Amino acid sequence: MKRPLRIAAALAAAVAAGFAAASCASIQRDVYYDAPAGEDPAELAEIESSLVLSRAVPGAGDLAAARSRLAELAAAPSSDSARSARILALSAEAALQSGDRAAAARLLAGAKAAYQGDEVAAVVESRLAASPAERLAALQRSSAVADGGYRVAAETGSALLALGRIREALVAFDASLPKLGEEYALLFGDERDRAWSLRDAESAPSADASAYLTREPITLLGMAAVAQSETTAMDRVTGGAPWAAGVLFERLKAAGWYLDQGADAKAAATRKDAALFLWTMMSRGDRAMAARYTARYASRGRSPVPDVPLGSPYFDAALGVVEEGVMALVDGSAFNPDGPASGLEFYGWLLAAAAWR
């Protein structure tokens, strides 16, 4: 089973420090250039790496400096059409990231005129598309002529995910990202992890839910919003009518779905918050069921889970979601109640809880 991609600590440290260029060894090298005398043949790969990092972490690179240097490289005479196309394609990407779509389109046209097979140009063309469907169509056209293909495949995964074609997106990511550098894992890692988490969903999550489905902790309000959007569990509260997330959050808070009556809607949810929310949903107002683990373990005087003691207001919820297979102990014994609950994790737990009978 594949695990979510993790970014190397060295790369994370470099990004945090504002480092904008990675080693050319991390870049797919499918085209070799006849560079003019004195030009470092690895420089274009370094510039590409810096632009990918800048795209992944806005502000991580100096776009003005990249555009200036690419203009200098473009001015150097060369008979290598592939080199000229790559310079123009990278220039188009830098212009696009700078918000200059007109310049990006003009530079892209120059790249394609110089050489049709440049893969970076194929990626930029897709990024200029007006919709995910047009983006995917551009990538599919380009894949037949582009040199290499891993960059196009990763971009295709992103387009497929945006269109709700989850399993196809996961295949595209897993076929491409291991062949690309860490900067590409940084750029597409969240989307790949989302595809992995959603792979068994019967349908793609709604746009309202998707905003919360990241590796970042979901908010308390986000749990309510996703539950309403992706299940029918909130119907017994709302009567099936679509409520504003804030209104639903306040109603659920008053009904005990959240322990802290003064909780802020934007507060990050912990694992114990998620457990209480899900167990309340699963028990459907059955008080005996909601408290059954307290009744079961009262005579024993202790909890089977060391970090959720008997008497904790989260005790029944934590034991319930674990026993019913909705959530898991983090190391086989501890629940880690104060640990963060990411949006992607919560979505998986929610689907399991909604399917429980």
Structure tokens at 298: 């009262």
Name which residue leads in pLDDT, 6 or 300: 300
Domain boundaries, the chain: 9-198, 207-355
Of residues 282, 275, 259, the one with CA closest to residue 353: 282
pLDDT at 29: 45
CB 317 within 8 A of CB 272: yes
**Mean pLDDT of all residues belonging to the chain:** 87
Name which residue leads in pLDDT, 8 or 156: 156
Fold (topology level) of 9-198: 1.25.40
pLDDT at 227: 96
Name which residue leads in pLDDT, 32 or 303: 303
Model pLDDT for residues 91-146, shown as the tens digit of each residue? 999 999 999 999 999 999 999 999 999 999 999 999 999 999 999 999 999 888 88
What is the distance between the alpha carbons of residues 220 and 232, in angstroms, rounded to a whole number?
18
Q: Which are the contacts of 199, defined by CB distance < 8 A and separation ≥ 6?
A: 166, 167, 170
Number of residues in the chain: 357
- Determine the average pLDDT of the residues in 143-157: 89
pLDDT at 19: 30
Does the pTM exceed 0.75? Answer: no
Structure tokens at 238: 């709302």
CB 67 within 8 A of CB 91: yes
Alpha helices in the chain (DSSP H): 9-16, 43-56, 63-75, 81-97, 101-114, 119-127, 132-143, 150-162, 166-176, 182-198, 207-210, 220-230, 235-238, 245-254, 271-283, 287-290, 292-297, 315-323, 343-355
Per-residue pLDDT for 321 more than 50? yes
Name which residue leads in pLDDT, 22 or 69: 69
pLDDT at 139: 94
Per-residue pLDDT for 163 more than 70? yes
9-16 and 182-198 helices cross at what angle (nearest 10)? 110
- Determine the average pLDDT of the residues in 304-310: 96
What is the distance between the alpha carbons of residues 88 and 111, in angstroms, rounded to a whole number?
5
pLDDT at 79: 86
Percent residues over pLDDT 70 in the chain: 88
Per-residue pLDDT for 217 more than 80? yes
Per-residue pLDDT for 69 more than 70? yes
What is the distance between the alpha carbons of residues 91 and 271, in angstroms, rounded to a whole number?
45
Per-residue pLDDT for 324 more than 50? yes
- In this structure, the number of other CB atoms found within 10 A of the CB of residue 223 comes to 29
Per-residue pLDDT for 237 more than 60? yes
pLDDT at 32: 54
pLDDT at 20: 33
pLDDT at 202: 62
The SS3 call for residue 275 is helix
What is the distance between the alpha carbons of residues 171 and 156, in angstroms, rounded to a whole number?
10
Band of residue 197 on the pLDDT scale cut at 50, 70, 90: confident
Per-residue pLDDT for 61 more than 90? no
pLDDT at 38: 61
Model pLDDT for residues 244-260, shown as the tens digit of each residue? 999 999 999 999 999 99
Work out whether the CA dihedral 105, 107, 113, 115 comes out positive or negative: negative
Per-residue pLDDT for 190 more than 60? yes
Strands (E) across the chain are located at none
pLDDT at 37: 60
pLDDT at 99: 95
Q: b/e per residue, 61-97, with b = 16+ CB within 10 A?
A: bbbeebbebbeebbeeebebbbbbbbbbbbbbbbbbb
Name which residue leads in pLDDT, 8 or 235: 235
Name which residue leads in pLDDT, 352 or 30: 352
- In this structure, the number of other CB atoms found within 10 A of the CB of residue 107 comes to 26
Band of residue 2 on the pLDDT scale cut at 50, 70, 90: very low
Q: How far is CA 336 from CA 141, 308, 318, 341, in A?
A: 48, 8, 10, 10
pLDDT at 59: 87
Model pLDDT for residues 9-49, shown as the tens digit of each residue? 334 344 334 333 333 334 444 545 666 666 777 899 999 99
